[in-house]
Amino acid sequence: MTQTLPRRISVRNPRTGQNDFEITAATGADIAEQAARLRRGQSAWAQKSLEERIAVLQRWAERVQSCRNAITTADSTDTGYGQISRVAVDMTLGHIRRYSLSAAADLKAAMRQGQSPQNPLVRYDCVLKPIPLVGVISPWNGPMHMAMLHAIPPLFAGCAVLVKPSEVTPRFVGPLRSSIQEVPELAAVFDFVLGDGATGAALIEHVDMVSFTGSVSNGRKVAEACGRRLIPCELELGGKDPIIVTSEADLDAAASAVLRGGVTSTGQVCFAIERVYVDAKVHDDFVSRLVNKAERVQINYPDPLSGHIGPFISHRQAQLVDAHLEEAIAKGAVLRCGGKSFNRGGGLYMLPTVLTDVTHDMLVMREETFGPVIPVMRYNDIEEAVSLANDSLYGLSAAVMAGSEAEALTIARLLNAGNVSVQDAYLTFFAGPAESDKFASSGVPGKRSGLQRYLRREALLINSGKPACLLEQSMQSL
């Protein structure tokens, strides 16, 4: 009988361009074994009180803090020392603090009790039962942060969680898993499997719900696979976020907001600013200010802890961004600063790239670019600005910079997006407990908010009177 050899996957270092790390892809049998083990642990985890689960997760937070340096180094190596990696541990600890404070109210809000409006002798109560095993498939652009963003809430709800991180950025798993193993109660219900898309597809076959973050094309595959199994899924997909800058806005502040929103983490953020609409009366002034600021941005080479933006995490992403840029210029866009990606020490970098004279028939205005490219388009009135901003398959988030908060809010309410930053951009990180529904190709959220999406509500119907007797009822009364 032929023995199948382990499938090895090489991992590229985004700063050197070299494959200097390797993972072994989990097989279907591996995933089945992991899932079975986590399901066994979940029974005891769900029976713990919320206070007991909070205490366990807070103990884990202490272990994460003690492993901070190792986790940060691993995550930063995967991303070329991107900004999100530097604060990934703090954001994870923040998620634990947030749900420690809000979980009780969240679960209370999910309860339903009362009296039947049809029969005063029948009352109803409910039991909240955690979904046993939640699978998380996380992306490469924020390795630890994005994995933990979707893994931590179901743990508070009483679920077990199995995470499949991107094969592009798996280094953080080692030190983070070590912190989990120091908390046995958590290790019984929380683990990782490594591998690529085939591993993710196998994972879906062994879990009861999927939380996926990634591209629209892969999100469709996940949704179809979950549909075949009739299990719920929540999808966090792409973005093509617009910002509207009015003639009365503080143009210097607007240029700062657009630059930060467009190039932080080299633009490899789903809610990065990717389309800028500026009132024609102030367009040239705004562009001049934006270019002046953009030309002062530096890459973090050769010192990874200096500069403002790092390399592309994925070399394929650099190729895609270059293709968007080339296509726009070929169709008449004007390059105001920056340009195509370039190699430094094996890493692929791109300086902030500002384009003008763009139109909606260019890829850079239609499809997710996911790089530090800022296309600026003029508009003649607010109705046109809103129409242009809403003319997209995406609707993750948006932003408005206006002369006053009141003016900005009026415009914000007209935009089709999951959330809208007002008088700033890139505020999604600070949304806290706010829940939003995405539009179109930006994803499919859970049907309920917060921890409730990871719970199944079982109705208990209690009759305080005698059961009805069929023999005492006529067909007419039935």
Q: What is the mean pLDDT of residues 355-370?
A: 98
Same domain, 247 and 229: no
Distance, CA of 350 to CA of 167 (rounded, Å):
23
Give the pLDDT confidence score for residue 1 in this predicted structure.
44
Q: Is residue 436 part of a domain?
A: no
Catalytic residue among 67, 226, 233, 270: 270
Same domain, 276 and 305: yes
Pair of tokens at residue 238: 């792409």
Q: Measured between alpha carbons, how far apart are the two ends of the chain, in Å?
A: 66
Give the pLDDT confidence score for residue 428 in this predicted structure.
86
CATH number at residue 270: 3.40.309.10
Q: Are 148 and 92 in contact (CB under 8 A)?
A: yes
Same domain, 129 and 168: yes
Same domain, 51 and 89: yes
**pLDDT tens track for 20-36:** 999 999 999 999 999 99
For residue 67, the SS3 value is: coil
Give the pLDDT confidence score for residue 447 in this predicted structure.
57
Q: Is residue 2 part of a domain?
A: no
Mean per-residue pLDDT over the chain, rounded? 95
Same domain, 16 and 140: yes
Same domain, 231 and 86: yes
Q: Is residue 470 part of a domain?
A: no
Q: What is the mean pLDDT of residues 71-84?
A: 95
* pLDDT at 454 exceeding the cut of 70: yes
**pLDDT tens track for 179-235:** 999 999 999 999 999 999 999 999 999 999 999 999 999 999 999 999 999 999 999
Catalytic residue among 236, 274, 367, 407: 236
Pair of tokens at residue 294: 């953009």
Same domain, 70 and 175: yes
CATH number at residue 205: 3.40.605.10
Q: Is residue 165 part of a domain?
A: yes
Judging by DSSP bridges, how do beta strands 347-349 and 342-344 pair with one another? antiparallel
Q: Is residue 137 part of a domain?
A: yes
Does the active-site annotation cover 270? yes
Same domain, 267 and 144: no
Distance, CA of 290 to CA of 87 (rounded, Å):
27
Same domain, 278 and 356: yes
Same domain, 219 and 322: no
Does the active-site annotation cover 234? no
Give the pLDDT confidence score for residue 468 in this predicted structure.
87
Q: What is the mean pLDDT of residues 413-442?
A: 83
Same domain, 12 and 135: yes
* pLDDT at 386 exceeding the cut of 70: yes
- Residue 213: which domain range? 8-237+442-461
Total domains, the chain: 2
Same domain, 248 and 319: yes
Tracing tokens 């800058």 back to the chain, one arrives at 245
The model carries a pTM of 0.94
